[in-house]
Structure 1
Amino acid sequence: MKLLSIIPLFFITIFPLGASTLNVKESIVKIYTVSKIPSYTTPWNSTIRRSHGSGSIIRGNRILTNAHVVANETFIEIKRHGDTKKYEAEVEFISHQADLALLKLKDESFFDATKAIEFNGLPKFEDEVAVYGFPVGGDSLSVSRGIVSRIEHKRYAHSREIYLSIQVDAAINPGSSGGPAISDGKIVGVVMQQLTRSQSIGYMVPMEIVNHFLEDVADGKYDGFSHLGISTQTMENDALRDVYNMNANVSGVLVIDISQKSNVYKKLKEHDILLALDGHDINNDGTVEYVKNKFTAFKYYIDQKQIGDSICLEIFRDGKKLEIDVILNNIADDNLLVNTISHDNTPKYLVYGGYVFSPLTRNLLVKNRATLLELRKAAAEWATDEREEAVILLKVLATPANRGDHNYSLWMVDKVDFKTFKNFAEFIQIIRNFKGKYLIIQNADGVKIAIDRNKAKELEKMILNRYDIKNSIRW
């Protein structure tokens, strides 16, 4: 199976494209990052990692790079091409969704005698691009050449969300992501990831996504990319089209599920056919035309919108065409029961009587590929007003008081003290308020775990010392 992998130490190596790129190298930087990487299996632990990446100087005395180059950072330094001095930097804005970050320098003399690289638009199929960065194996700048081989929606390895990406037919080597792809002396994309177990297939964040990010943060805060909060099915099957009375002149996708948290909830209905977004027709395979004769996922026109923008949905319901205007106020985390991949955050947990509870996170699921199907299923569910966050018994730290339960791990919690709960905070509050002798934790199948409240309190200090845990709770 082919997988996408981010490339904090990977780089596309090519050759310069004519005179227009000769001055670009003066605006390329090397980024040195020290990161604190949290553990989602032992959430009180973390490790320190040192890595490097690339970036480019853009307008406003900023450095544009990938989010994964500086994710979970504790210290950042930047060095210009042709200089030996390192300057301290910090993250100004970051989009983990789109794998983009803007850095600012603490000493603005860094930018003396530098020139910002301008932006270009979306490149065309088979356009040549020059990619700049600092690959492993040397400290000097490397420049190489490739062609645009595909432009379509792909899953970004850093966030696991799907956005427009540019596929480049060029070798990717251990080195630096975050470097710019240049065409006619201007940036057309930011290198971000490679397709593993393949040759010469790399991906870039296109300028459409970069420009969305820059427009978003222009007001001083990052809001994110909007999420419609619906599940759809393609309508290529003739029999299914007949079921919904779709003639040859009608194309679209079937709405099969809607998030209760979404702004389209109670506006859209299951079994509606979504025909168009802002007048852009949706094909039966779920694609839209974004340039002449080029197609990609219909979310392309949702991704164009900023949080708070309106979008017009054209639908087919009961044999009639209708239009619905919707304000896009949600990101994916608002709609999902299990949030998207988290970065720059410390994992939450509660240790109670040696039982370790935490919210179910996508970070944990990614690290544990053999996770129970029940947890994978929860990750595909929508959040509701009654259930905004799933909680699991992560593991059991062995003590005499929890003997018999030591093998419990990655166990979904349905009720605590016979009560349901909305989120991890409410789960903890129920435990804090419990005054009885035995606290009962229960899963959806009715399996129960009993925790002696008095023994849990008596053993707390011993458990924390034995397992080198600083605090019994972090939330």
Structure 2
Amino acid sequence: MLMRRGCAIAVWLVLAAGASVAQVLPADDTILPAVVRIDVYVDPPDLLSPWQKAGVEHVTGAGILVGRGAVLTAAHVVADAVSIEVQSAFSAERSVAEVAYIGHECDLALLRLEDPRFLAEVEPVPIGATPAPGTELRIYGFPIGGESVSYSSGIVSRVQVGTYVHSAEDLLLVQTDAPVNPGNSGGPAIASGRLAGIAMQTLEDAENIGYLVPAAVIRHFLDDVSDGRYDGFPRLGVRLQDLGSPALREYLGMPPGTSGGLVIRVDDGGPADEVLRPGDVLLSIGGRPLANDLTVDLPGIGRVDWSAAVRSRQIGEPIELEWLRGGERRRARIELTPHRPLVPGRHTAEVPRYFVFGGILFQPLSYEYLRDYFEDPPAELELWATDRNVVTPDRHELIIIQQVLPDPVNRGYQDWADLVVETVNGVRPRDLDALAELVDTATGEWLAIEVGDGRRMVLPLAEARAARERILRNFGLDDDRSPDLRRRSPGPADRPNAPADRGDRRKPRRAGSAGEAGPRGPAGTGA
């Protein structure tokens, strides 16, 4: 759906050109004036060399006017944008735009038009309800093969919780058989004259299976930013196992006719921490009974994965939980505080977080890194991104040695890459900030790092500190850490900023056999 010029298109966001042909627009179309083409120049970060950018690319997508001077589109169309122009479907007139709010989780962005006169006479399109299966849709956009606006028609096949490729988040989505082609990203899906969804992705190697951000998620996003800030979608911070086994239900002491889900993991610091425990049976969420197959019935939506009952709320809202513990029913009202998983879908700061010491490049692992740089991700990292993706008291980020920048001080380790950091001088770093502090304040002769497979890397501490300037100079770094990381003594003083080579040093995707896009989901389900 995202059309890139001069570069390969991520297969998960694009449906290969097929037999479907965009239809000619009827003369009496009332939605057309609110449809816009979006031309974007992006300069994304290079996660392999996070101190620099990957290089400028041109991408195109579509959008829809939802308010005076406000255009809604897909987040992946305008992510990392350095220039945005919006063009009317009716004329060659253009307006510069900027991102007012972006929700990477839900793949939505709200653009603010710079010229108040642009589209001033056009009526914004009202937001409707999430369309039910069988609903007829019309999807507008600027697909590959032409420059003018067009539309494709189809019906809603199903409404379910599924993975958003842009963020690896599991949210409500709509599946449709209406063709969604390169250039349709961000385009509106219209049902009965109202906005029913935003085109975002397709199913790889399948014909005419496209996915939309549904109206319910659009409303959540717009309600969220109405206070001038994007907070995101809450999560409970637990993982559940289904209770389809009668033997397991009897073993847990569940009364006949009772249904629910077995709590198998609880994130440290999450909203449910200190309320739920592994071994509890969660019975209801927000007053909605939880079925043994881990689904709930949502009004206007139907039966979907239980996580939708949590993620349909706003961060900061209360939610009621009911559960069994040792055969006793318990209830609590908790606040849905902000919480992110151990391995997030995307890098969590505007500048990707990193730390370099002795040429060792440390980074928090993200799904984005696995998706964009591997055809077949390392098994251990894929496991951490799925089944082991649980926050614990001693681990709030999963820190990896992403690569080693060759230098005499790190001889013997220069082929080490994509390894989980277990300990630094015998201490497990809770997150990247803690790792930087362990290194900055280290004393003695050696710095010893143990990785996930049991191997150890040992650097001479004084020599590694002395090599800092040489390594920064040789690899074009301004600093040995991202701007968010503080420096602590007895590490060296900050080096004055120096010009760095910001040219395109993007490295090829790491070798591996062709495989599915991104990590597979875990056996249990979490939110």
TM-score in same-fold range (> 0.5): yes
Equivalent residue number for residue 504 of structure 2: none
2:196 partner amino acid: V
The alpha-carbon distance between structure 1 residues 93 and 295, as it changes in their structure 2 partners (threshold 3 A), is: same
Secondary structure in 2 matching 1:213:
helix
C-alpha displacement at 1:22, in angstroms? 1.0
Comparing 442-451 with 245-254, greater Cα deviation is found at 442-451
2:41 partner amino acid: V
List per-residue Cα deviations over 1:300-355 (Å, max 9, x = no partner): 22122111111111222333333221111133x1xx22223237722222232222
Equivalent residue number for residue 134 of structure 2: 126
Match of 1:373 among 345, 369, 379: 379
Question: 8 Å contact 2:361–2:403 — kept in the other structure?
Answer: yes
Question: 8 Å contact 2:63–2:72 — kept in the other structure?
Answer: yes
1:246 and 2:268 matched: no
Whole-Å Cα distance in 2 between the matches of residues 147 and 246 of structure 1?
A: 41
1:463 and 2:452 matched: no
C-alpha displacement at 1:431, in angstroms? 1.8
2:396 partner amino acid: E
Match of 1:205 among 213, 219, 244: 213
Whole-Å Cα distance in 2 between the matches of residues 344 and 472 of structure 1?
A: 17
1:26 and 2:33 matched: yes
C-alpha displacement at 1:384, in angstroms? 3.2
1:129 partner amino acid: L
How does 1:311-460 map onto structure 2 within 5 Å?
A: 311-331=319-339, 333=340, 336-342=341-347, 345-366=350-371, 367-379=373-385, 380-443=388-451, 447-460=455-468
Equivalent residue number for residue 500 of structure 2: none
List per-residue Cα deviations over 1:364-395 (Å, max 9, x = no partner): 22233544433334333322343222222221
Question: 8 Å contact 1:17–1:145 — kept in the other structure?
Answer: no
1:147 partner amino acid: I
Whole-Å Cα distance in 2 between the matches of residues 260 and 175 of structure 1?
A: 42
Question: 8 Å contact 2:140–2:184 — kept in the other structure?
Answer: no
Equivalent pairs: percent with the same residue?
32
Secondary structure in 2 matching 1:38:
coil
Question: 8 Å contact 1:8–1:68 — kept in the other structure?
Answer: no
Match of 1:277 among 281, 285, 288: 285
Equivalent residue number for residue 137 of structure 1: 145
Question: 8 Å contact 1:14–1:130 — kept in the other structure?
Answer: no
Equivalent residue number for residue 170 of structure 1: 178
The alpha-carbon distance between structure 1 residues 36 and 8, as it changes in their structure 2 partners (threshold 3 A), is: farther
1:245 partner amino acid: G
The alpha-carbon distance between structure 1 residues 247 and 389, as it changes in their structure 2 partners (threshold 3 A), is: same
Equivalent residue number for residue 47 of structure 2: 40
List per-residue Cα deviations over 1:107-159 (Å, max 9, x = no partner): 21113211101111122221111111111221111012111111111111111
Whole-Å Cα distance in 2 between the matches of residues 154 and 92 of structure 1?
A: 26
Equivalent residue number for residue 146 of structure 1: 154
The alpha-carbon distance between structure 1 residues 322 and 17, as it changes in their structure 2 partners (threshold 3 A), is: farther
List per-residue Cα deviations over 1:403-438 (Å, max 9, x = no partner): 211221112222223333322112112222234333
1:100 and 2:105 matched: no
2:246 partner amino acid: D
Comparing 259-268 with 314-323, greater Cα deviation is found at 314-323
Whole-Å Cα distance in 2 between the matches of residues 76 and 346 of structure 1?
A: 20
The alpha-carbon distance between structure 1 residues 287 and 17, as it changes in their structure 2 partners (threshold 3 A), is: farther
Whole-Å Cα distance in 2 between the matches of residues 327 and 432 of structure 1?
A: 37
1:158 partner amino acid: H
Question: 8 Å contact 1:311–1:328 — kept in the other structure?
Answer: yes
The alpha-carbon distance between structure 1 residues 404 and 127, as it changes in their structure 2 partners (threshold 3 A), is: same
Question: 8 Å contact 1:121–1:188 — kept in the other structure?
Answer: yes
Question: 8 Å contact 2:85–2:94 — kept in the other structure?
Answer: yes
Comparing 116-125 with 7-16, greater Cα deviation is found at 7-16
List per-residue Cα deviations over 1:64-90 (Å, max 9, x = no partner): 111111111111111111121221111
Question: 8 Å contact 2:398–2:431 — kept in the other structure?
Answer: yes
C-alpha displacement at 1:441, in angstroms? 2.0
Comparing 244-253 with 8-17, greater Cα deviation is found at 8-17
C-alpha displacement at 1:102, in angstroms? 0.4
Comparing 269-278 with 434-443, greater Cα deviation is found at 434-443
1:74 and 2:82 matched: yes
The alpha-carbon distance between structure 1 residues 124 and 412, as it changes in their structure 2 partners (threshold 3 A), is: closer
The alpha-carbon distance between structure 1 residues 200 and 111, as it changes in their structure 2 partners (threshold 3 A), is: same
Question: 8 Å contact 2:15–2:180 — kept in the other structure?
Answer: no
Question: 8 Å contact 1:276–1:315 — kept in the other structure?
Answer: yes
Comparing 440-449 with 52-61, greater Cα deviation is found at 440-449
C-alpha displacement at 1:193, in angstroms? 0.6
2:364 partner amino acid: P
Alignment root-mean-square deviation, CA: 2.5
1:473 and 2:478 matched: no
List per-residue Cα deviations over 1:435-467 (Å, max 9, x = no partner): 433322223565322222343344333333333
Equivalent residue number for residue 489 of structure 2: none
When normalised by structure 2's length, the TM-score is: 0.83
Equivalent residue number for residue 157 of structure 1: 165
C-alpha displacement at 1:36, in angstroms? 1.3
Question: 8 Å contact 2:64–2:71 — kept in the other structure?
Answer: yes
Structure 1 unmatched ranges of 5 or more:
none
1:214 and 2:222 matched: yes
Question: 8 Å contact 1:63–1:103 — kept in the other structure?
Answer: yes
C-alpha displacement at 1:10, in angstroms? 9.2
Whole-Å Cα distance in 1 between the matches of residues 90 and 277 of structure 2?
A: 59
